[in-house]
């Protein structure tokens, strides 16, 4: 079975591996600490750690797009911003 039609590249494969690893880590976390640790953060809504991961990933996607559209600096810097943003989301949301 050939997957050449999917036009895989190493960077995109690594990207999806990272997403899969994050989901796997969340599963392991949930196994050892069930319940999702729901709490109401600064957004004023109750979020579980799965919600916080989703908010982190979605927000990171928009940060990267905004970086591409507005900033001149290399995209690697947006990765740093995304990581800081994700830490803040997991800490305060």
Site residues (vs other proteins, CB under 8 A): 4-9, 11-12, 15-16, 30-31, 34-36, 38, 44-46, 54, 58, 61-62, 65, 68-69, 75
CB of 59 to other proteins, least distance (A): 9
Question: From the CB of 84, what's the least distance to other proteins, in Å?
Answer: 20
Give the span between the Cα atoms of 89 and 42, in whole angstroms: 9
> Among residues 16 and 88, whose Cβ is nearest to other proteins?
16
Distance of alpha carbon 28 from alpha carbon 22, whole angstroms: 10
Please name which of 16, 62, 54 lies closest in space to residue 6, comparing C-alpha atoms: 16
Q: How far is the CB of 87 from other proteins (least distance, A)?
A: 20
């Amino acid at each position: 079975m050939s997957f050449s039609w999917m036009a895989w590249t190493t960077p995109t494969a690594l990207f999806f591996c990272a997403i899969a690893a994050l989901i796997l880590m969340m599963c392991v976390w949930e196994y050892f600490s069930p319940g999702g640790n729901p709490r109401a953060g600064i957004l004023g809504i109750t979020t579980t750690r799965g919600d916080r991961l989703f908010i982190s990933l979605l927000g990171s996607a928009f940060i990267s797009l905004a970086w591409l559209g507005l900033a001149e600096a290399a995209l690697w810097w947006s990765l740093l911003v995304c990581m800081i943003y994700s830490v803040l989301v997991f800490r305060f949301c």
